Structure 1
């Protein structure tokens, strides 16, 4: 077990699909070859997912400290966090108690990782509305991690297969994005993305930087951000030895990356990066009104600890039905293990 990174996996909102996809992911023996997973959450909810939802041949091992984890396939180690009135618990129901449980699991896994007891963290989806009902006013996981780790310079990276996207800005009105596109912020994100790719095993990652305006501004015809902020940040990054290129028209840079031209794309705002990634990983069938695929991963860069996550929500409408895909959770665990090993290699170098 000592040779495998120890990963803490938060249960997410108990009323969502988090417990189900965790059980399905930990039903894969190869996951235990990659890491020693420990679920942070409510053991009774996970037992429901095992016996009533997934009907998996797995045992729950309740522990009081991460050192007690067995890390063996066939047994799910669970560290209890939070309280739930099970008589009031309903799959798919928005509630403050589930929002509280989800937040406490995230808080706990962060503190354990900061203390060096976990090599990395993986998060199942939480519901922002439920979390806010519980009195925890954050936009999402990324902001919680930034606050609780005391990190100012961080960024969101989405990944699916060979397509990886890191964001300069995320949760803000579009009208405010331009003022956030400073040379310093863009350069910080390029550096964060470069370091992340190095941890993933790319010796000299190629980074394509998207423009902000149509046609990357056409030399100022459609906007000035490329000339005043994006291009100078790229130039500085190149002087530091980072293979950053651009700014490219946003409608073509992702096509080139998907074709193998870049290991990473730097997007200027939330939807610019999310749309191409989710076009790749989310599949919707209008005839059945169902979603499939769900293979993307969300990684927070710049933190003192490793954090990878599924790239989808709680899917309350599907909770408790044994129809949720675990592929994004499997991919998130794989990414968490890879980045944890990358950090271990850096620290030992």
Structure 2
């Protein structure tokens, strides 16, 4: 039985709600360990009119705390969510859980609580002593990995260099292998409109991206660069196994326009798989019982689907 740990996120947001709603889809909940504030979770169940006995048999790691008000940035909410993630990482490293699913946190709340980390991914990378951690979006057949993350657009464009693109291709191949896909088909998105039109709209494709692809073709099944207005659609139809997106919004817009609710994120390179929703805490609707749980449900399903193969391939491809 795959053991899934779920950190419940910021208690002032929708994480507790979407987790509760998602888990009602599972009759046998023994595979799950919830990590968060116990009292707040059962208060959310009452708001949702979900019977407490539906969660009989589930493991719960309580992070004690004071009363939380929905929809507001609070130091106590940040502390609870931070400690939840820290405990989840600890359980995964000890082998008490196989895979970690995380509900959304609020970065400002973490800062108020004194966290030295700005987000989940940074915390996971540091506390697991992992060298290269990639972020993969998955929505139906479409997978996207990112060359750059949270940079201004102009700074992201400056990172589109031959060696960086080669590194991105390696990470794309590694991500596919970790998910059980050997010799996966990798597409590289272009940076400029129409792929630069032979240098008319920029030379990055000519000077940096294409040379990187040509060098990597001997080792990897990689093609491109393809204009970004079509390559994600082609991948969604199954022509490619993953697309290397060159900057944050290039890939985010593609995935979320395709199917916002079902887009999820996976971290590749950690000693255990981490999946998460691709939305935030939604303070504006927190506590109202109207949050859509689809992304959390997809995160849980993908955690179950990939957990075993990820751990096997981590030992094979990453662990030294």
How does the TM-score come out when normalised to structure 1? 0.84
1:20-45 Cα offsets, whole Å, 9 max, x none, are 1111111112675xx81111111111
The answer for the alignment partner of 1:55 in structure 2 is 49
1:325-348 Cα offsets, whole Å, 9 max, x none, are 111111101112222111244368
Of 65, 76, 86, the residue aligned with 1:84 is: 65
Separation in structure 1 between the aligned mates of residue 125 and residue 312 of structure 2, nearest angstrom: 24
SS of 1:13's partner is coil
- For these two proteins, the number of residue pairs brought into alignment is 316
Residue 167 of structure 1 deviates from its aligned partner by 0.6
Conservation of the 8 A alpha-carbon contact between 2:178 and 2:314: no
Task: Please state if 1:332 is matched with 2:311.
Answer: no
* Structure-to-structure mapping, 1:270-285, within 5 angstroms: 270-282=248-260
The answer for the alignment partner of 1:304 in structure 2 is 271
Task: Please state if 1:18 is matched with 2:15.
Answer: yes
* Structure-to-structure mapping, 1:239-278, within 5 angstroms: 239-240=218-219, 242-278=220-256
Please identify, of 184-193 and 19-28, the stretch whose mean Cα deviation from structure 2 is larger: 184-193
1:224-251 Cα offsets, whole Å, 9 max, x none, are 32233322332343221x2111011111
Separation in structure 2 between the aligned mates of residue 180 and residue 304 of structure 1, nearest angstrom: 27
The answer for the alignment partner of 2:163 in structure 1 is 184
Task: Please state if 1:133 is matched with 2:133.
Answer: no
SS of 1:159's partner is strand
Separation in structure 1 between the aligned mates of residue 117 and residue 255 of structure 2, nearest angstrom: 24
Separation in structure 1 between the aligned mates of residue 127 and residue 314 of structure 2, nearest angstrom: 23
Separation in structure 1 between the aligned mates of residue 31 and residue 51 of structure 2, nearest angstrom: 19
The answer for the alignment partner of 1:94 in structure 2 is 73
Task: Please state if 1:115 is matched with 2:82.
Answer: no
Separation in structure 2 between the aligned mates of residue 59 and residue 185 of structure 1, nearest angstrom: 52
Residue 80 of structure 1 deviates from its aligned partner by 1.5
Residue 139 of structure 1 deviates from its aligned partner by 4.0
SS of 1:170's partner is coil
Of 188, 204, 210, the residue aligned with 1:231 is: 210
1:144-194 Cα offsets, whole Å, 9 max, x none, are 222222334222111111111111111011111133223333233322322
Separation in structure 2 between the aligned mates of residue 80 and residue 11 of structure 1, nearest angstrom: 11
Residue 210 of structure 1 deviates from its aligned partner by 0.3
Separation in structure 2 between the aligned mates of residue 57 and residue 77 of structure 1, nearest angstrom: 16
1:63-87 Cα offsets, whole Å, 9 max, x none, are xxxxxxxxxx743321123x4212x
1:293-325 Cα offsets, whole Å, 9 max, x none, are x22101112222211001111111111111111
Task: Please state if 1:142 is matched with 2:121.
Answer: yes
1:236-288 Cα offsets, whole Å, 9 max, x none, are 43221x21110111111112112221121110000000001111223xxxxxx
1:182-229 Cα offsets, whole Å, 9 max, x none, are 333323332232233234343432111101122222233322322333
Separation in structure 1 between the aligned mates of residue 109 and residue 315 of structure 2, nearest angstrom: 41
Separation in structure 2 between the aligned mates of residue 7 and residue 145 of structure 1, nearest angstrom: 16
Task: Please state if 1:41 is matched with 2:23.
Answer: no
The answer for the alignment partner of 1:219 in structure 2 is 198
Separation in structure 1 between the aligned mates of residue 266 and residue 47 of structure 2, nearest angstrom: 28
> Compared with structure 1, are the counterparts of its residues 345 and 48 closer, same or farther at alpha carbon in structure 2 (3 Å cutoff)?
same
Conservation of the 8 A alpha-carbon contact between 2:190 and 2:228: yes
Please identify, of 164-173 and 209-218, the stretch whose mean Cα deviation from structure 2 is larger: 209-218
Q: Which runs of 5+ in 2 are unaligned?
A: none
Q: Which runs of 5+ in 1 are unaligned?
A: 61-72, 283-293
> Compared with structure 1, are the counterparts of its residues 202 and 101 closer, same or farther at alpha carbon in structure 2 (3 Å cutoff)?
same
Of 57, 77, 83, the residue aligned with 1:75 is: 57
